A and B are shown apart, each in its own frame.
Chain A
Amino acid sequence: MDPLRELYQQVIVDHSKRPRNRGKLEYSNRKAEGVNTLCGDQVTVYLEVENDVVKDVRFEGGGCAISTASASMMTEAVKSKSLSEVETLFEEFHRLVTSTEPGAQELGKLAVFSGVREFPVRVKCATLVWHTLHEAIRNKGGGA
């Protein structure tokens, strides 16, 4: 597959056009905002965490296809996961988009982002929402 098709796989285009879990989460208890300084794109991640488990997650904002799809698929991937599982996913995802080293764990659907690797300037687009999620997890008490 050529690098472009690899980057913009159908699943990614689909999520970018119809993002899942987009919008404010009224009853969230953790929240963070992230900005991609390169393009000014913004994303807000809302979490409802109970007993160290992500009960619900939503996001607002986004921008390019990569960042919107990444946000959308992140929300699907982390729902019902424990916070430590989420941290591991984040590390694995980061490895996926920045290196060719095989990860320790299966990423499932998120593996479609492997094409980003070939586009170093776009790595930030894919990881912005994950960094923001990480930030939100640490923001205890920061509700919507």
Chain B
Amino acid sequence: MTEKRIIEVREDFPILRQLVHGKPLTYLDNAATTQKPRTVIDALVKYYSEFNSNIHRGVHELSQRATGAYEDSREKMRLFVNARSETEIIFVRGATEAINLVAQSYGNSVLGAGDEVIISGMEHHANIVPWQLVCEARGARLRVIRLTERGELDLDHFESLLSPRTKLVSIVHASNAIGTVNPVKHVIARAHASGVPVLIDGAQAVAHFETDVRDLDCDFYVLSGHKLYGPTGIGVLYGKKELLERMPPYQGGGDMIRSVTFEKSVYNELPYKFEAGTPHIEGVIGLGAALDYLQGIGWPLIVEHERDLLQYALARLREVPGLRFIADPCERVGVLSFMLDDIHPHDIGTVLDQEGIAIRAGHHCAQPVLERFGVNATARASLALYNTRGEIDRLIDALLMVREVFT
């Protein structure tokens, strides 16, 4: 039943209908970026062919239409993450820029010498380096929550790190390297009990289950549109209004000010205070179309199908001789990071590519977590709503072929 519906869903993604090296494309690199449904591609074309113009400043018809579409997307995003107000939705380039914004604006204003920021041992470089930069500038210290053997947060260690010096906790919702889904609600509650705000990196979470920033009670939540069936170059920073209001601007320029004189500029209200310059208009519109698309599919189908597919993939991969996962978290998304005998992941990737199968091989921009598990690269297959059991079977056959090539 679900499988039949997924076959229909695949029809919505034009890119999936192609052969790669003469074989049907099996796209299993969704943690890097997801493919785009026809409606997202059409929304971009429609914008450029019918109402391209700058926003928030035109009195003319096209500008009003573009502004309307841009702001509609903000409202869609508000609903998508269940934020209280659309002023809490700030459009940025992606998860990376959102974290840098918080590090530079919030971090710079609250961190002093000896203060601490807590992250975890499974962060993407995007949630490590911005904190290193601001900590270095402010004389603050980065503390790292240890991981258990299974690849989960060591919550006792987290508790022991919380102290009066802690100014912020920033952790990933779902890991792009090992797939762990963290108990972020618990982490947020514990941090709040100590008066510490929390940023959640939702880059790998938002496409796979419902996000509710009010239920989580996180202070910041970041995501990238391109991992959510939307265009590249667009992402979102959600922030609680009280915090965003207190934060200084991240970049200066047009749109983010109310009035400018050479003596002093008055900043615009939220969210525009953080959206300096002409934004990525078509990106925002395309992201809105992606959210519409997901709403049309509905969470029940996505969650059920991906859960089923993940269980199937785990079971089938475990049958492959010589294959081992580097971590084994209980709560996880469809990110499968593995090693095969002592075959280098790049060689695995090359053989799979010849079979039309796209996976990622390397460190996945998360070197510390791989090091924690004693490897410097893995092969990673990552699932999305349009993947099928048939594609998992193809992956398994190709992995058996890899073993043949290397014995």
- Contact surface of A with B, Cβ cutoff 8 Å: 2-5, 7-8, 13, 17, 38-40, 63-66, 68, 119, 121-122, 125
Contact = CB atoms under 8 A, between A and B. Distances in A.
Interface string B16-41: 00000000000000000000000000
Given A4-B405, A13-B405, A40 B350 contact: no
A63 B406 contact: no
B159 interface: no
Interface residues of B, number: 16
B34 to A, nearest CB: 22
Contacts of A4: 350-351, 354, 405
Contact of B377 (A2, A3, A40, A65): A40
A65 B363 contact: no
Interface in B329-354: 343-347, 350-351, 354
Contacts of A122: 346, 350
Nearest to A8: B405
Contact of A66 (B345, B347, B354, B363): B347
A88 to B, nearest CB: 29
A2 B401 CA distance: 13
B406 A8 contact: yes
B362 A65 contact: no
B344 A63 contact: yes
B361 interface: yes
A8 B362 contact: no
A119 B377 CA distance: 20
A68 B361 CA distance: 17
Contacts of A66: 346-347
25 contacts: A2-B354, A3-B354, A4-B350, A4-B354, A4-B405, A5-B405, A8-B347, A39-B346, A39-B361, A39-B363, A39-B377, A40-B363, A40-B376, A63-B377, A64-B345, A64-B346, A64-B347, A65-B343, A65-B344, A65-B347, A65-B406, A66-B346, A119-B350, A121-B350, A122-B350
A120 to B, nearest CB: 11
Label chain A's interface by main secondary structure: helix
A36 B57 CA distance: 48
Given A7-B350, A119-B350, A40 B344 contact: no
Interface in B197-256: none
A142 B240 CA distance: 56
Nearest to B348: A64
Closest 6 pairs between A and B when the two form their complex, measured CB to CB: A64-B344, A64-B346, A65-B347, A64-B347, A8-B405, A4-B354
A106 to B, nearest CB: 27
A3 B353 CA distance: 12
A119 B349 CA distance: 12
Nearest to A2: B354
A65 B342 CA distance: 10
Interface string B366-403: 01000000001100000000000000000000000000
Interface string B307-348: 000000000000000000000000000000000000111110
Nearest to B354: A4
A93 to B, nearest CB: 20
A28 B347 CA distance: 31
Interface in B90-128: none
Contacts of A17: 406
A42 B108 CA distance: 36
A40 B377 CA distance: 9
A13 B350 CA distance: 14
Contacts of B362: 38-40
Contacts of A13: 405-406
With a 10 A CB-CB cut-off, give which of B344, B376, B406 has the most chain A CB atoms.
B344
A38 B343 CA distance: 18
With a 10 A CB-CB cut-off, give which of A65, A66, A119, A121 has the most chain B CB atoms.
A65
Contacts of A39: 346, 361-363, 377
A37 to B, nearest CB: 11
B346 A125 contact: yes
A64 B405 CA distance: 14
Given A17-B406, A68-B344, 15 more contacts: A2-B354, A7-B350, A8-B405, A13-B405, A38-B362, A39-B346, A39-B361, A39-B377, A40-B363, A63-B346, A65-B344, A65-B406, A119-B350, A122-B350, A125-B346
